[in-house]
Amino acid sequence: MSSSALERPLTVVLLGGGTVGSSVARLLLGNARDIEERVGAPVHLQSVAVRDVDRARPGVPAELLTADAASAAASGADIVVELIGGIEPARTLILSAMAAGSSVVTANKALLAADGATLYEAAARYGVDLYFEAAVAGAIPLLRPLRESLAGDKVTAVLGIVNGTTNYILTRMDEEGADYAQVLADAQALGYAEADPTADVEGFDAAAKAAILAELAFHTRVTLDDVHCEGISHVTADDIRAAQQMGFVIKLLAVAERNDRGVIVRVHPAMLPRDHPLASVRGAFNAVFVEAESAGEVMFYGRGAGGDPTASAVLGDLVTAARNRVSGGRGPGESTYSNLPVLPVGDAITRYYVNLAVADKPGVLASIATAFSDNDVSIQVVRQDGHGDEASLVVRTHLATDADLQRTVQQLKELDTVRQVLGVMRVEGEAGE
Amino acid sequence: MSSSALERPLTVVLLGGGTVGSSVARLLLGNARDIEERVGAPVHLQSVAVRDVDRARPGVPAELLTADAASAAASGADIVVELIGGIEPARTLILSAMAAGSSVVTANKALLAADGATLYEAAARYGVDLYFEAAVAGAIPLLRPLRESLAGDKVTAVLGIVNGTTNYILTRMDEEGADYAQVLADAQALGYAEADPTADVEGFDAAAKAAILAELAFHTRVTLDDVHCEGISHVTADDIRAAQQMGFVIKLLAVAERNDRGVIVRVHPAMLPRDHPLASVRGAFNAVFVEAESAGEVMFYGRGAGGDPTASAVLGDLVTAARNRVSGGRGPGESTYSNLPVLPVGDAITRYYVNLAVADKPGVLASIATAFSDNDVSIQVVRQDGHGDEASLVVRTHLATDADLQRTVQQLKELDTVRQVLGVMRVEGEAGE
């Protein structure tokens, strides 16, 4: 980039001085020479807005700290990096930064999932960049490939493992045959799960990321409210065992899919064949699997969280936004031009696993098969195990709509021959039909 | 991008009308409305330069065909897409397109590996874009993440499975226990390998991609001549079996690594632990695994070849270059500012597997252990199998330099107790020491 005309330093303001913010500041100061080469101009950290200016932050010079986030955001710096999180005041700060002509880098998944379109529109209106690679799957370069590398293709589906806590729990349940509650307690003790794990284990964190992924992949407006969300707290050791017996592994998946009529976005535990590329994503790792018409299957894998990986993603965005300033342009903006309707989850078409505790008497299988066929759900495999009070029946279906399957389960619950519905789970990632 | 000022159509010239070229033309014409939305202006295919204008190309209007590639390249179109391949006339055409102010998209790995820096410099000099996502690992969005998303980070190593033919052969050898020659013949019959498979099986194709990856990852000049290259034609069913017994799988790896003194770029078969993310990349799929200081481990996976996947990558580049035109800027260029020395492969540090046919008598292990220790190579595991004329010894080492290992192997060959060195292979992707 030595041919660049712009020789003045570029200015950067950080909003937020937590783990990621401090890490970004340190990398920015520590790698200044490399960053200058890559940007084509020096990058100057102007200020870091924090709540408590008196707290020491290793590697961040105290004289850069300010408590006045509003003034810092509106200072007209070349780039404003928002790492405060949450809806407000983050949204107001970002919009005032854009209005002052600053490009914005953010890791704020909550805000993007709630109101991304407002930010995209503001970025277009003010002619500034908005980058947010760190908002989904931490350090994995994912959003930019989705919006740039696949820009000439048509994405049909996105399947992601985008929450490290639940993947850690499910991986340990799979490896140890342990119960959910037991592994969760252990994960909390080790710091892999929060004291209040609700946002992770109930799928809300994954749902926010699913909304962002769907919006980028399909160029249409999707918010958190559009996402059907089920967590992993009902996954049992029995489900894990049944999955293993069938050659599957259970993952919390974020699924965004597009059909002729619109898009469906959902987060729920699902069974995946063990030879699916997502099946080997273990522990706290994240991965996102993309199906596109021409590109075929593409997967991105890496660390989904942590200060340094997230800081790496923020810094990548920052360097790109800075290069755009130097070259006098702006990167590709987001758009929601497709205006596709968001369809109810009942329209989703997948295979299912159903595990039933049944009476041990003749005619059981016939009555159960009838419940499936009454609702247009075709059975692929059925296996009977045990006898007496231990008798159970595991069914795997062919492709069916979620609505038809829910009706089937309702009908199964009312049968005399079914003592209990032990487990129902979607099966994803199987080829063909 | 509706806020864009530029309303004139953008013009595109295609050089080359083979499988990929025809596929790009069809996607460009067929997805015109989506592409216009994503670019912010209509994109108009102006001409397609081909050798034979009389050959029908389904989906490509005959009136767009021209035999005059030189005039088409120099026509000053907004974007020139080079899909001819090879060094010349491709390089001359690309340089004349840039001189005429056109941004260039190419899939030409041979040219980039031989003389990428000339193209990067010309792009910077003329202020145009140069994109080449399709040159490495087909449809996998990889080069852009390397040069943009990780731009604020420091990449330390890149490990890639970047040749589908060899991965297909090694996967079948692993699954079937079959011999190399037998699987190669089968792969040729099925069209997965060329009649002359040299470029694939001897690693030359992978070496060109390794040079491009190293140049991007380390911001330094690396050409094909800098790459140490070994193919898979010497991999035996015995090696595969030995790998399986140790929990490893054999892959042809492209490795680019950076240490304090410079970079090393090498292509060779290597053993990988079966739980390594690259180990599950089977058949004709490609994947590239990147290690960066802050981001940690990141992997990109997808189809490495084929007309449609490659066309998807070309079109993604084309859309990005077109958007840059509309926004009045240019994307980040390449640079080789680091000027790192390329070190000889003897300096590479890895673990090794060594398989020896040995004499079945006392003192064998002692003499062999001495050969290793004489050359500062530390043994991690040793296993003796069989007896009499079947006696063999499998050694796995701790980390050692390639030079020390080569000297060890030389010394082993001269021992009375060693009847034959059956196999020597690097072991990659193991954690720790």
A295-328 pLDDT, tens per residue?
Answer: 889 999 998 877 888 898 999 899 989 988 887 7
Compute the distance between CA of residue A75 and CA of residue A97 in angstroms, rounded to an integer.
7
How many Å lie between the alpha carbon of A423 and the closest alpha carbon of chain B? 30
Q: Assess contact for A248 and A220: CB atoms under 8 A.
A: no
Query: What local confidence, expressed as pLDDT, does residue B433 receive?
Result: 41
As a whole number, mean pLDDT of residues A188-197 equals 91
Q: Which of residues 310-349 of A touch B (CB under 8 A)?
A: 311-320, 323-324, 327-333, 335, 337-338
Do B196 and B113 reside in the same domain of the chain?
Answer: no
CA A202 to chain CA centroid, nearest Å = 13
Identify the residue whose tokens are 């083979």. B18
Query: What local confidence, expressed as pLDDT, does residue B4 receive?
Result: 44
Strands B263-273 and B418-427: what pairing?
parallel
Question: Is A168 a residue whose pLDDT tops 90?
Answer: yes
Smallest Cβ–Cβ distance between B124 and the set A1, A133, A303 belongs to A1
Do B14 and B66 reside in the same domain of the chain?
Answer: yes
Structure confidence at residue B363 as a pLDDT band (50, 70, 90): confident
Query: What local confidence, expressed as pLDDT, does residue A6 receive?
Result: 56
Do A297 and A154 reside in the same domain of the chain?
Answer: yes
Give Cβ neighbours of residue A216 (< 8 Å, ≥ 6 apart).
A143, A146, A147, A334
- Quick check: B141 and A124 CB within 8 A? no
Smallest Cβ–Cβ distance between A330 and the set B27, B125, B327 belongs to B327
Structure confidence at residue A417 as a pLDDT band (50, 70, 90): very high
The CATH number for B401's domain is 3.30.70.260
The answer to the question of residue B144 being in a domain is no
Alpha helices in A246-355 (DSSP H): 307-327
Question: Is B339 a residue whose pLDDT tops 50?
Answer: yes
Average pLDDT, chain A: 91
The answer to the question of residue A42 being in a domain is yes
**SS3 of residue A170 by DSSP:** helix
Do A28 and A131 reside in the same domain of the chain?
Answer: yes
The answer to the question of residue B19 being in a domain is yes
- Within 8 A of B335 by CB-CB distance, chain A residues are 1-2, 37-38
Query: What local confidence, expressed as pLDDT, does residue B2 receive?
Result: 37
CA A267 to chain CA centroid, nearest Å = 9
Do B23 and B92 reside in the same domain of the chain?
Answer: yes
Q: Last residue of some domain: A302, A337, A358?
A: A302
Query: What local confidence, expressed as pLDDT, does residue A140 receive?
Result: 84
Give Cβ neighbours of residue A331 (< 8 Å, ≥ 6 apart).
A129, A131, A320, A321, A324, B323, B327
Which of A47 and B325 is assigned the larger pLDDT? A47
Lowest-confidence segment of A232-246, A348-362, B324-338 by average pLDDT: B324-338
Do A240 and A278 reside in the same domain of the chain?
Answer: yes
Question: Is A7 a residue whose pLDDT tops 70?
Answer: no
- Considering the entire predicted model, what is its pTM? 0.87
Cα angle A306-A311-A315, degrees, rounded to a multiple of 5:
160
Q: Assess contact for B52 and B69: CB atoms under 8 A.
A: no
Structure confidence at residue A3 as a pLDDT band (50, 70, 90): very low
Question: Is B5 a residue whose pLDDT tops 70?
Answer: no
Compute the distance between CA of residue A372 and CA of residue A378 in angstroms, rounded to an integer.
7
How many Å lie between the alpha carbon of A208 and the closest alpha carbon of chain B? 21
Q: Which of A1, A161, A289, A312 to mutate to test the interface with B (most CBs of B within 10 A)?
A: A312
The CATH number for B60's domain is 3.40.50.720
Q: Which of A148, A175, A330 to mutate to test the interface with B (most CBs of B within 10 A)?
A: A148
Compute the distance between CA of residue B340 and CA of residue B222 in angstroms, rounded to an integer.
9
Do B296 and B313 reside in the same domain of the chain?
Answer: no
As a whole number, mean pLDDT of residues B59-68 equals 92
How many Å lie between the alpha carbon of B81 and the closest alpha carbon of chain A? 14
The answer to the question of residue B334 being in a domain is no
Q: Which of A1, A153, A161, A288 to mutate to test the interface with B (most CBs of B within 10 A)?
A: A153
- What are A82-133's pLDDT values in tens digits? 999 999 999 999 999 999 999 999 999 999 999 998 999 999 999 999 999 8
Query: What local confidence, expressed as pLDDT, does residue A151 receive?
Result: 76
Q: In what order do the strands lie in the sheet with A79-82?
A: A65-66, A43-49, A10-15, A79-82, A103-106, A130-131
- What are B197-213's pLDDT values in tens digits? 999 999 999 999 999 99
- Within 8 A of B312 by CB-CB distance, chain A residues are 150, 152-153, 292-295
The answer to the question of residue B341 being in a domain is no
The answer to the question of residue A3 being in a domain is no
B30 interface with A at CB cutoff 8 Å: no
Do B396 and B267 reside in the same domain of the chain?
Answer: no
Structure confidence at residue B295 as a pLDDT band (50, 70, 90): confident
Query: What local confidence, expressed as pLDDT, does residue A2 receive?
Result: 37
Query: What local confidence, expressed as pLDDT, does residue A13 receive?
Result: 98
- Quick check: B139 and A337 CB within 8 A? no
Q: Return the axis-axis angle of helices B307-327 and B19-30, rounded to nearest 10°.
A: 50
Lowest-confidence segment of A116-125, A398-407, B373-382, B423-432 by average pLDDT: B423-432
Q: Assess contact for B270 and A268: CB atoms under 8 A.
A: no
Query: What local confidence, expressed as pLDDT, does residue B432 receive?
Result: 52
The answer to the question of residue B332 being in a domain is no
Q: Least CA distance to A155: which residue of chain B?
A: B312
Question: Is B37 a residue whose pLDDT tops 60?
Answer: yes
Average pLDDT, chain B: 91
Please state the domain count of chain A: 3
Which of A204 and A19 is assigned the larger pLDDT? A204
Do A149 and A276 reside in the same domain of the chain?
Answer: yes
Q: Last residue of some domain: B303, B335, B357?
A: B303
Do A173 and A151 reside in the same domain of the chain?
Answer: yes
- Quick check: B315 and A154 CB within 8 A? no
Query: What local confidence, expressed as pLDDT, does residue B332 receive?
Result: 65
Question: Is A330 a residue whose pLDDT tops 80?
Answer: no
Structure confidence at residue A332 as a pLDDT band (50, 70, 90): low
Lowest-confidence segment of A242-251, B137-146, B398-407 by average pLDDT: B137-146
How many cross-chain Cβ pairs, A to B, lie less than 8 Å apart?
229
Structure confidence at residue B7 as a pLDDT band (50, 70, 90): low
Do B365 and B299 reside in the same domain of the chain?
Answer: no
The answer to the question of residue A390 being in a domain is yes
Q: Assess contact for B81 and B97: CB atoms under 8 A.
A: no
As a whole number, mean pLDDT of residues B316-335 equals 81
- What are A261-273's pLDDT values in tens digits? 999 999 999 999 9
Query: What local confidence, expressed as pLDDT, does residue A4 receive?
Result: 44
The CATH number for B233's domain is 3.30.360.10
B355 interface with A at CB cutoff 8 Å: no
B281 lies in which domain range? 153-303
Structure confidence at residue B307 as a pLDDT band (50, 70, 90): confident
Q: Which of residues 150-189 of B touch A (CB under 8 A)?
A: 150-154
| DSSP letter, residue B342 | B
Q: Which of residues 246-305 of B touch A (CB under 8 A)?
A: 275, 277, 280, 282, 292-303
Catalytic status, residue A361: no
Strands B248-258 and A248-258: what pairing?
unpaired
Do B280 and B398 reside in the same domain of the chain?
Answer: no
